[in-house]
Chains A and B, each alone.
Chain A
Amino acid sequence: MPRPGFVLEVDRSTPPILTWHGEGFRLERLPAERSRVIYAPEPVAALDDPDQAVQDALLHPLGDSPPLPDLLRPGMRLTIAFDDISLPLPPMQKPDNRQRVIEAVLEMAAAAGVDDVVLICALALHRRMTEAELRHAVGDRVYDSFAPHGLLLQHDAEDPDGLVHLGQTDKGEDVEINKRAAESDLIVYVNINLVAMDGGHKSVATGLASYRSLRHHHNVKTMRHSRSFMDQEHSELHSSNWRMGRLIAAAGVKVFQIETTLNNDTFPKQMAFLQKREWEWSGRDRATYLATSKSLSRTPPKLARSIFQSIKAPHAMTGVYAGEVEAVHAATTAAVYEQQLVSVEGQTDVAIFGLPHVCPYNVNSIMNPILVMCMGLGYLFNLYRGKPIVRQGGVAILSHPTPWAFHPVHHPSYIDFFEEVLSETTDPIEIEKTYEERFATDEWYRHLYRTSHAYHGVHPFYMWYWGAHALEHLGDVIIVGGDPAAVRRLGFSPATTLTDALEMASDTVGRHPTISHFHCPPIMLADVS
């Protein structure tokens, strides 16, 4: 029986706490009597026979949807859309959930005699996936069946001939999605719901949308009113997507939604100590910690990066739900909450977030300073329900090396955003007003997004907006162990050690502040009362 999440009150006998630091980790001692550590629940049990579970879900769908085989008929146009490289994190060991589900769907399509099938990677404005990444996601069999015939596509949000405008919501939001998907008799969307934000109407309305459509919810105003975007009930991001999703349905686009959940088993057996509570470390765990941290400190950053990026998580499928979008998503969200919710009492003055090596946008890539901001203030900060774990005007302390380094292929517009935009201002509103459009319409970024493996020109802006709620909420942000020049460019304060950072934080929140250490990964969702 996996244990639920846990909040540890730090006392003098508490061992130092593992704190992630990019491609590495440190043990940090927290001040006694006023600190707490928030631990994730342990991984819930995996499905015994995931393939059978997928079958069952497709045959007994939720909501008012008929079973999948009843929706399939010869001569129909079927589009299978699936989540891109940003899910799950780290990438899961083979076989990926997407492969299992897509194969099951295709088996049924084959049985029904459906010939016109296209697979679309619903990457929105993310970078196109490489062949190896696609093979990992959908499996070699599906890849070899569809890719050579040009039937395995990656969504192109900038293809003038590949999009269709379905109308405007009652709030005036344009809904423009992938044409092939919209004109299909059925879209089957295959999700991996790593966090509570994923899935639902967001799958199609965001994953297959164009910039014109996305800008209605990917903006500062929406993000500031999504508290948090992990909590659909209080997320303007989701309200907007739900309006769009309903419009898509009303426009006659049929979506059969399949959502899968994972447990939070994040690290392979050898690295199990990374998801254990420190006082439960065995001799072997301590030896592994010492060996890895000592050798990592002598490893060149490039090599360390490639070692960490090669980690494949032993995530196991814990649930699969299929059918009508909203019914499915309700079930999925409940399952995600069951794995991830941790009850936390009240807020503290300071929150410490150790940033790991990977965020949704640097799989097989570099976590550049903008992604550091997004990971810390966008994702980890927002992993709450109710209230943030840090109080209004409090301080967030991030731990990450924050190198002044960018992946030139994946993140070209990030470099310009960092060099040009952030050297002028870090205010999200100002950034949105002055610079967004120019980056979004830049021909070169468009070219790289469409033909290479680059994020869309506007993507760094979204990263910045992702953190807009936190920027507004927090009194100060301190990055421990980062490149001082890069940290200052982000508008944050650099500190060498956690002790220094806590000292600096006391300028904002007073002496002897209360502290929360968010012990993530594994991913969890703090239910703050």
Chain B
Amino acid sequence: MRALKVERSLARFGAARVASGWRPGAGGKVGPLRLAEMDLPDLPGPDWVRLRPRLSGICGSDLATVDGRSSQWFEPIVTFPFVPGHEIVADTEDGRRVVVEPVLGCVVRGIDPPCPACAAGHAHRCERLTGGHLSPGLQTGFCAEVGGGWSAALVAHPAQLHDVPDDWSDEAAVLVEPTACGVHGALAGPPGDDQVAVVIGAGTLGLTVIAALSRLRPDITRIIAVAKHPVQKEMATALGATTIAAPGELRRAVRRATGSWILDSGQLTGGAPLVIDCVGSADSLADALAVAAPGATIVMVGMPGGVHVDLTPLWQREIRLAGAYAYGPEPLAGGRHSFAVATDLVADAGLERLLTITYPLDRHAEAIAHAATAGRRGAVKVAFDLRSEKRR
């Protein structure tokens, strides 16, 4: 079978890093990603099943990997060579259409008794990502043995599978996983009354967060979204953002909405009680700190990596900085799992429209480049179409 494979090659990671600094997404050409002929993956355990992906999305974390910009942190919790792709809608061999919850926690790894986090249902916080009968890997798509979505086939544990309603298109289904991330981020902030929320970034993640905030958080009445490109502004408004601000205009927009003051340095005296950073850069975090009210929560949904930022406001204004990774039970949604909530949300908010374009595996370099410059090129989500891939 054919698959896109990431190999451990220092030279290629280096080349990708250099090239992508010049042109984002250039790592697809010169980087560690290769289209290769591979054997079908073996089933690691008795209950495991084989999947045949239909669509598999390109996520920001995938782009970081391909462009050689991932944090060293991931080094011990991935296994090379791996096939990326964790936003997957696939067919099982017995004819079910499923989306994959890619986290590889204790249950999937056959660890019994599971770690306390997994026992509590928070598989994404699993403490045994390197244990069990699988090699290290935090998710499907980062682990050599289980394969990934950017291929003709992969293996999965039944606990990872969520059925897709029959009347759904594949295009809608492939957005369930990213939407679940957005839901998890949107529901991570503490509840309040008549709150202003700021969403920085209007890529797939930002837009799903906006959709989740506007539909799942009645306590949030105003959503200020930072969007750069016309398609993002349009989508953000359509999904429920009340104010769209260009990146340089955020602080003033928040000031207007919250009636606070702004100081010469650009920091606000008050601000928004909830800021969701869907970018994860030094600039976005600095913006978030500048517009977060005293006592506010900043949720980092976007994968940050190493950033340099002045944390004085965090200390002086008792701001809580919270990460939101993956999915789990959502207390604010009555304890339902992010995936279940996301499934409803995709249908409700019509998130299918976020998928702009699909590419076959052959054109992976183009696909990566397109995904890396999605906003500028009028796109949101870019995915691989594997429905015509042959599996041998």
Direct contact of A and B (CB under 8 A): yes
> Are the CB atoms of B252 and A415 closer together than 8 Å?
yes
> Are the CB atoms of A444 and B249 closer together than 8 Å?
no
CB-defined contacts of A443 to chain B, threshold 8 Å: 259, 261
CB-defined contacts of A444 to chain B, threshold 8 Å: 255, 259-262
Alpha-carbon separation in the docked complex, A415 to B253 (Å): 10
Task: Say how far B247's CB is from chain A's closest CB, in angstroms.
Answer: 12
Whether a CB of chain A sits under 8 angstroms from the CB of B391 is no
Report how many A-B pairs have Cβ atoms within 8 Å: 26
CB-defined contacts of B259 to chain A, threshold 8 Å: 442-444
CB-defined contacts of B353 to chain A, threshold 8 Å: none
Task: Say how far A507's CB is from chain B's closest CB, in angstroms.
Answer: 26
Alpha-carbon separation in the docked complex, A438 to B256 (Å): 9
Whether a CB of chain B sits under 8 angstroms from the CB of A225 is no
Task: Say how far A291's CB is from chain B's closest CB, in angstroms.
Answer: 38
CB-defined contacts of B243 to chain A, threshold 8 Å: 420
Residues of A440-469 contacting chain B, CB below 8 A = 442-444, 447
Whether a CB of chain B sits under 8 angstroms from the CB of A419 is yes
> Are the CB atoms of A420 and B256 closer together than 8 Å?
yes
> Are the CB atoms of A416 and B261 closer together than 8 Å?
no
> Are the CB atoms of B260 and A416 closer together than 8 Å?
no
Alpha-carbon separation in the docked complex, A419 to B261 (Å): 17
CB-defined contacts of B252 to chain A, threshold 8 Å: 415-416, 419-420
Residues of B217-273 contacting chain A, CB below 8 A = 243, 245-246, 249, 252-253, 255-256, 259-262, 264
Alpha-carbon separation in the docked complex, A319 to B335 (Å): 82
CB-defined contacts of A416 to chain B, threshold 8 Å: 252, 255-256
Main secondary structure of the interface of B (DSSP, over half): mixed
Residue on A with the closest CB to B266? A408
Alpha-carbon separation in the docked complex, A217 to B125 (Å): 64
Residue on A with the closest CB to B245? A419
- Residues of B in contact (CB 8 Å), total 13
Residues of B342-362 contacting chain A, CB below 8 A = none
> Are the CB atoms of A420 and B262 closer together than 8 Å?
no
Alpha-carbon separation in the docked complex, A226 to B4 (Å): 71
> Which of B246, B249, B253, B261 is the one whose CB lies under 8 Å from A447?
B261
Residues of A386-422 contacting chain B, CB below 8 A = 408, 412, 415-416, 419-420
Task: Say how far A413's CB is from chain B's closest CB, in angstroms.
Answer: 10
CB-defined contacts of B245 to chain A, threshold 8 Å: 419
Alpha-carbon separation in the docked complex, A447 to B245 (Å): 24
> Are the CB atoms of A419 and B249 closer together than 8 Å?
yes
Question: Which residue, of A408, A412, A444, A447, has the highest number of chain B Cβ atoms within 10 A?
Answer: A444
Task: Say how far B33's CB is from chain A's closest CB, in angstroms.
Answer: 38
Chain A 414-438 per-residue mask, 1 if CB under 8 angstroms from chain B, else 0: 0110011000000000000000001
Question: Which residue, of B243, B249, B260, has the highest number of chain A Cβ atoms within 10 A?
Answer: B249
Residue on B with the closest CB to A408? B264
Residue on A with the closest CB to B262? A444
Alpha-carbon separation in the docked complex, A415 to B248 (Å): 12
CB-defined contacts of B262 to chain A, threshold 8 Å: 412, 444
Task: Say how far B7's CB is from chain A's closest CB, in angstroms.
Answer: 45
CB-defined contacts of B253 to chain A, threshold 8 Å: 419-420
Residues of B314-360 contacting chain A, CB below 8 A = none
Alpha-carbon separation in the docked complex, A416 to B245 (Å): 11
Chain A 461-504 per-residue mask, 1 if CB under 8 angstroms from chain B, else 0: 00000000000000000000000000000000000000000000
CB-defined contacts of A442 to chain B, threshold 8 Å: 256, 259
Task: Say how far A499's CB is from chain B's closest CB, in angstroms.
Answer: 31
Alpha-carbon separation in the docked complex, A442 to B258 (Å): 10
Alpha-carbon separation in the docked complex, A447 to B255 (Å): 14
CB-defined contacts of B264 to chain A, threshold 8 Å: 408
Alpha-carbon separation in the docked complex, A447 to B261 (Å): 9
Residue on B with the closest CB to A439? B256
Task: Say how far A226's CB is from chain B's closest CB, in angstroms.
Answer: 30
Residue on B with the closest CB to A420? B256
Q: Identify 9 new A-B residue pairs, CB closer than 8 A, beyond the known A442-B259, A447-B261.
A: A416-B252, A416-B255, A416-B256, A419-B246, A419-B252, A420-B243, A420-B253, A443-B259, A444-B261
Give me the interface of B with A, judged by CB distance under 8 Å.
243, 245-246, 249, 252-253, 255-256, 259-262, 264
Give me the interface of A with B, judged by CB distance under 8 Å.
408, 412, 415-416, 419-420, 438, 442-444, 447
For the complex of A and B, 3 pairs with smallest distance between CB atoms: A444-B261, A419-B249, A416-B252
Q: Can you report 10 A-B residue pairs in the complex whose CB atoms are below 8 A from each other?
A: A408-B264, A412-B262, A416-B255, A416-B256, A419-B245, A419-B246, A419-B252, A419-B253, A444-B259, A444-B262
